[in-house]
Amino acid sequence: MTFQDHNTSTGHLLIFLEDWLVTLDMLLFFILGLFVHFVFFGSIFDIYFTSPLVHGMTPQFTPLPPPAKRLVLFVADGLRADTLYELDENGNSRAPFIRNIIMHEGSWGLSHTRVPTESRPGHVALIAGFYEDVSAVAKGWKENPVEFDSLINESKYTWSWGSPDILTMFAKGAYGDHVFTYTYDADSEDFGAHDVTKLDTWVFDKVKEFFHAARNNQSLFSKLNEEKIVFFLHLLGIDTNGHAHRPSSREYKDNIKLVDAGMKEMVSILEHFYGNDGKTAFIFTSDHGMTDWGSHGAGHPSETLTPFVTWGAGIKYPQKVSAQKFDDAFLKEWRLESWKRQDIHQADIAPLMASLIGVPFPLNSVGILPVDYLNNTDLFKAESMFTNAIQILEQFKVKMTQKKEVTLPFLFIPFKLLPESKQLNIVRKARSYIKQRKYDEAVSLCKELIHLALKGLSYYHTYDRFFLAINVVLGFLGWTSYAFLLIIKSHFNLTRGVNKEVKKPSHLLSCSCIAIGVFVAFFLLLQDCPWTYYIYCLLPVPIWYAVLREFQVIQDFVTLLLTVPPSYFVGYLLVFILGIEILVLSFFYRYMLTAGLLAFAGWPFITQLWTRAKSISLSWIFFSLLLAAFPLMPVVGRKPDIFLVMGAGLLVLLLSLCVLTSLIKRKDSFINEELLLHLFQMLSVVLSMCVTYSTHSSLRKKQGLPLLNQIISWLILAFSLVLPLLSPTSLFERLFSILLSLMSTYILLSTGYEALFPLVLSCLMFVWIQVEQETLQQRGISCKQKVTSVRFTCSTDITQFRQLYLDDVRRAFFLVFFLVTAFFGTGNIASVNSFDLASVYCFLTVFSPFMMGALMMWKILIPFVLVMCAFEAVQLTTQLSSKSLFLMVLVISDIMALHFFFLVKDYGSWLDIGTSISHYVIVMSMTIVLVFLNGLAHLLTTKKLRLCGKPKSHLI
Ligand SMILES: [Zn+2]
Ligand SMILES: [Zn+2]
């Protein structure tokens, strides 16, 4: 140690810190990198996915007698609005009972749901009045991520019948034992397997039994005659039929008829039980719709438009109107033009139900009471609306107080549109309007207050977002610069000879970094921040310390840059930025890959490659253009075409014949065993073609998968990993052998055009190797060997540490681009998630998620392996060290990750949200995946197995 004279403890600490940082080797760097990326990943859950719910509000209810004593809620799961309202081919309604209600008894409209259009968020919006937050993404999908209040919890008693998934959700959140659920057993799998309408008839039967039994059960009878009670009938049949047969099917439509008839019966039983006392309110709706192809979750109108029909106590009778203005043409289609349609948002149903039976509005509800549905005095409407406004204002106040408490007073920026004075003002004014019987004015003033309070709620909900995002971005930039500096430091001989006495960074830097760290920690401590905030805010400090202490390197690099003509510099920078943006965009639009490949095709013209090597350039252009066609085709599995798979197999055979003849011609000593190996591999390609063909034709005839085919498939898969290791290690022969083996497996896993993809990709890769050899010669670097004579060897990497050139950056970029192409060339993330069963039919036909997942994974990996093996060859011929390559890929992928950090979505369907998160994860883990892929490629290309253990003399 050279700093022994500093005896103070801080001195020791600093020395230790410096030493530690100086001896930071690749392993530490790797671990550190992992940690940093975990933090970056975790940060999105604190920034984007936090629960908006607050607790601690007081319940609010209207101080007037409610119109209804009890409420019946029918939810037909997965029912589309149009299928219910429209008339069938003969002009008859599928739901005559509901249509009769619309025309003679109640009010109707469309309920607009929000994405994700799933059962759980739909029911939460209906019954609890808020749109479920995406923090559910972070905290698991099934359990209640947060405690919430609901209509069912506020009711005196609730009886519910239906699916266990939905009912238990609200029973769990309710306090006390006033919620009774009756569910069928979720585990008994064949329940309703043949006829899912049983799910609905079960509910109707149980309700019938229930009311029958109630007549002889004194305690139940008295409970049923209480006020503020709810009956909730959850009907799952329509959703299940829709998934199984699609909404246009006979089954789906017949199920609607069944539900309609069942409801008619239920209503008459109830009215009979209560002696037609006119104190029952009815609501019929659904949690979400369904697409034409039988799915839901996203934001298509067929999924977000659900029916809403209500009648009974407190509800307006049908209103005849002469003309109604709506953007859509539904009214005409459904022949309902003359009955007033009133659309609502799904969460508005909760306050409506609460005001009908006179219970407090659910505490977290953000619904706005649809007063136009109410058949009541103007005073009641105004008072209810006032209650609604106060209830939402309460949430706003609690949220603001919470934020204010944890923020330093001088840093707190309140929501400007709704200061305390304004709140008081509006509330006072609304009260006085009600006193003066100016009810309409009161209602509109309350609506204004609600809108402001809702805006304020979202303002405070995203209050920390900006601050946290800045810290994460600082960390990202610091980390990327650090990786960049490492590349410069170890590979450019910038500083060589400039100054031998390495300047130790001044203690000023370390001291100020520690001071900043302490200051930040103290600042966070004062604000009572969660522990994760400390990590996000403190992490940039050591990272930037590590960057700034390399001040000398930065200075040298800048001096070097200044010697470059500015136009060059700006040009290169622009090309780099453009390249990165194309990569980022290709995650969303596959055709961007086509654009990139077209640019690649034009690349030889810019360099001198065209003049030097015409034939190589031409084949580069040809294969780039050919590969560019793939991202334009539909994703895998949409159009199965077995003949394209056969075509791919034939092309492989043709190619291997050409290679074989050229090899025999070139080498007099072409050894029998190698010839045998080649022939064996060609045979396996032929076999896999036969197996694929016969399997698909036998499945088409519904004869199942022949056992022989299955055995051969697995054998080919097993051999494909071993056979390349038997081939000679000379560059082309080994690569070709790998291609043949992987292609035979890929053909087995293909159903259409994608079988051609690895073939075209590897052709381009072969040309790439040649091209890189050419560019190297262009630079005047002597090339010791011709490509054809290069052999893969185990110790390729450590040999020479040569300087890095700009070309190496391009090579790294090409690699990343080809890897992205290998991934998105034939599909997108969504198509990866959805298993296309047809592609594993040659291996198994029984449903086994794990095995199928593994096979699909291998299918996705094959193009990657081909690219990596080719790159192994490029690395070998250009003598680029793996370390610097990984660092360059790290820089590229982190710049991309920063893009995706801002593109994380906290709204939309689960699929949208999940996809945005997986984009972020994919680019961040790119480097790690690359390390493993590189290892695999290294093994595949350099390892040589010998049969029978006898050494071969020719292999030296
Ligand atoms: Zn549902
Ligand atoms: Zn469903």
Long-range interactions of 409-417: CB distance < 8 A, separation 24+: 415/455, 415/456, 415/459, 415/460, 417/452, 417/455, 417/456
Residues 691 and 710: their CA atoms lie apart, in Å, by 8
Residue 155 above 70 pLDDT?
yes
Distance from residue 26's CA to the centre of ligand 1 (Å): 51
Contacts 24+ apart (CB under 8 A), 366-370: 366/129, 366/130, 366/131, 366/392, 366/395, 366/454, 366/457, 367/129, 367/130, 368/447, 368/450, 370/342, 370/344
Q: Maximum Cα–Cα distance for the chain, whole Å?
A: 109
In the predicted model, is pLDDT for residue 187 greater than 80?
no
Ligand nearest to the CA of 165: 1
CA distances from 520 to 35, 40, 535, 551, 698 (A): 20, 19, 11, 24, 69
Minimum-distance ligand to the CA of 234?
A: 1
93: β partners: 87
Q: Higher pLDDT residue, 899 or 186?
A: 899
651's CB contacts (< 8 A; 6+ apart) are: 756, 759
Q: Rounded to the nearest whole angstrom, what is the distance from the C-alpha of residue 908 to the centroid of ligand 1? A: 17
Neighbour count for residue 406 (Cβ, 10 Å): 15
Indicate the average pLDDT of the chain. Answer: 84
CA distance linking residue 512 with residue 19, whole number of Å: 18
Compute the distance between CA of residue 168 and CA of residue 765 in angstroms, rounded to an integer: 56
Amino acid at 695: T
Ligand having the closest approach to the CA of 118: 1
**Least confident among 358-367, 383-392, 598-607:** 598-607
CB count in 10 Å sphere of residue 225: 14
Listed residues: CB within 5 A of ion ligand 2: 78, 239
Q: How far is the CA of 369 from the centre of ligand 2 (A)?
A: 28
pLDDT tens track for 244-269:
888 999 999 999 999 999 999 999 99
Full strand arrangement of the beta sheet holding 157-162: 179-183, 157-162, 229-235, 70-76, 280-285, 305-312, 107-112, 344-345
Q: Say whether 345 sits in a helix, a strand or coil.
A: strand
- In angstroms, how far is CA 838 from the centroid of its own chain? 24
438 CA distance to ligand 2 middle (Å)? 46
Contact 338, 34 (CB under 8 A): no
Q: What is the pLDDT of residues 692-705, one digit of tens each?
A: 888 888 877 777 77
User: Average pLDDT in the 220-233 region?
Assistant: 94
Please state the pTM of the whole predicted model: 0.78
Determine the distance separating the centroid of ligand 2 and the alpha carbon of 243, expressed in angstroms: 7
What pLDDT score was predicted for residue 12? 65
Q: How far is the CA of 474 from the centre of ligand 1 (A)?
A: 43
Measured in Å, residue 123 CA sits from the centre of ligand 1 at 8
Tokens of 567: 């136009």
CA of 260 to the centre of ligand 1 (A): 18
* Confidence (pLDDT) at 195: 77
Is the previous residue joined to 370 through a cis bond, with omega within 30 degrees of 0?
no
Give the per-residue pLDDT at 149. 87
pLDDT number for residue 861:
87
Residue 118 CA to ligand 1 center (angstroms) comes to 6
Sign of CA pseudo-dihedral 752, 758, 763, 765: positive
Rounded to the nearest whole angstrom, what is the distance from the C-alpha of residue 16 to the centroid of ligand 1?
Answer: 60
463: CA distance to ligand 1 center in Å?
Answer: 33
Q: Say if residue 149 is exposed, middle or buried (CB neighbours under 10 Å; 0-12, 13-18, 19+).
A: buried
Average pLDDT for 547-568: 85
Task: Please indicate whether residue 312 or residue 608 has the higher confidence score (pLDDT).
Answer: 312
Tens of pLDDT, residues 779-829: 655 554 555 566 776 554 444 456 777 788 888 999 999 999 988 888 766
Is the dihedral angle over the CA atoms 370, 373, 377, 380 positive or is it negative? negative
Cα of 119 vs centre of ligand 1, distance in Å, is: 3
Q: Return the amino acid letter for 854.
A: A
Q: How far is the CA of 297 from the centre of ligand 1 (A)?
A: 9
Q: From CA 534, how far away is CA 42, in angstroms rounded? A: 13
Ligand 2 centroid vs 120 CA: distance in angstroms? 10
Q: What pLDDT score does 496 carry?
A: 47
Whether the CB-CB separation of 536 and 46 falls below 8 Å is answered with yes
- What is the average per-residue pLDDT within 719-738? 84
3-class DSSP assignment, residue 159: strand
Give the ligand with the smallest distance to the CA of 163: 1
What pLDDT sits at residue 294?
Answer: 86
| Of 119-133, 501-515, 615-629, 788-802, minimum mean pLDDT range | 788-802
28: number of Cβ within 10 Å: 12
305-312 vs 280-285, strand pairing mode: antiparallel
- Gap from CA of 120 to ligand 1 centroid (Å): 7
Ligand 1 centroid–CA 68 distance in Å is 28
Cα-to-centroid distance, 365 and ligand 2 (Å): 24
Torsion of CA 446, 452, 454, 460, to 10 degrees: -140
pLDDT band with cut points at 50, 70 and 90 for residue 953: very low
Give the confidence band of 318 by pLDDT, cuts at 50, 70, 90: very high
Q: Grade residue 46 by pLDDT with cuts at 50, 70 and 90.
A: confident
Q: Is the dihedral of CA 275, 281, 285, 287 positive or negative?
A: negative
CA 855 to ligand 1 centroid distance, Å: 32
**pLDDT, greater one: 132 or 762:** 762
Per-residue three-class SS string for 302-329: HHHEEEEEEEECCECCCCECCCCCCCCC
The answer to whether the CB of 782 falls within 8 A of the CB of 719 is: no
Using CA atoms, how far apart are residues 62 and 77, in angstroms rounded to an integer?
31
Q: How far is the CA of 287 from the centre of ligand 1 (A)?
A: 6
What ligand has the least distance to the C-alpha of 76? 1
Across the range 442-471, mean pLDDT stands at 93
Residue 144 has pLDDT above 50, yes or no: yes
> Ligand 2 center to residue 249 CA distance, Å?
16
Inform me whether the pLDDT recorded for 508 exceeds 50. yes
- Give me the residues paired with residue 75 across strands: 234, 285
Q: How far from 606 is each of 271, 295, 493, 820, CA to CA, in Å?
A: 84, 49, 28, 24
- Say how many C-beta atoms besides its own lie within 10 A of residue 697's C-beta: 11
Cα 257 → chain centroid: 37
Q: How confident is the model at residue 434 (pLDDT cuts 50, 70, 90)?
A: very high
Residue 237 CA to ligand 2 center (angstroms) comes to: 10
The share of the chain scoring above pLDDT 90, in percent, equals 42
Nearest to 814 by CA among 737, 748, 880: 880
Phi then psi for residue 730, to 5 deg, are: -65, 140
For residue 250, report the distance from its CA to the centre of ligand 2, in Å.
Answer: 18
Considering every ligand atom, which ligand is closest to the CA of 166?
1
Ligand nearest to the CA of 290: 2
- 288 CA distance to ligand 2 middle (Å): 8
φ/ψ of 789, rounded to 5, equals -100, 0
Cβ atoms within 10 Å, residue 653: 17
Centroid of ligand 2 to alpha carbon of 233 (angstroms): 17
Which segments within 130-228 are labelled E, that is strand?
157-162, 179-183
Direct distance between the N- and C-terminal alpha carbons of the chain, in angstroms, rounded to an integer: 49
Alpha-helical segments (H) within 274-377: 301-304, 330-334, 349-357
What is the distance in A from the centroid of ligand 1 to the CA of 239?
6
Distance CA 609, CA 933 (A): 30
Query: Measured in angstroms, how far is the CA atom of residue 112 from the centroid of ligand 2?
Result: 17
What pLDDT does 317 receive?
95
CA distances from 198 to 97, 191, 231 (A): 20, 8, 20
Q: What is the pLDDT of residues 509-549, one digit of tens each?
A: 888 889 999 999 998 888 888 888 899 999 999 999 989 88
Cα 240 to averaged position of ligand 1 atoms, centre (Å): 9
> Which ligand gives the minimal distance to the CA of 295?
2
Q: How far is the CA of 235 from the centre of ligand 1 (A)?
A: 9
Instruction: Return the ligand number nearest the Cα of 239.
Output: 2
Nearest CA to 842 out of 701, 719, 684, 714 is that of: 714
Distance 161 CA to ligand 1 centre (A): 15
Compute the average pLDDT of residues 85-91. 90
Looking at residue 896, its pLDDT comes to 92
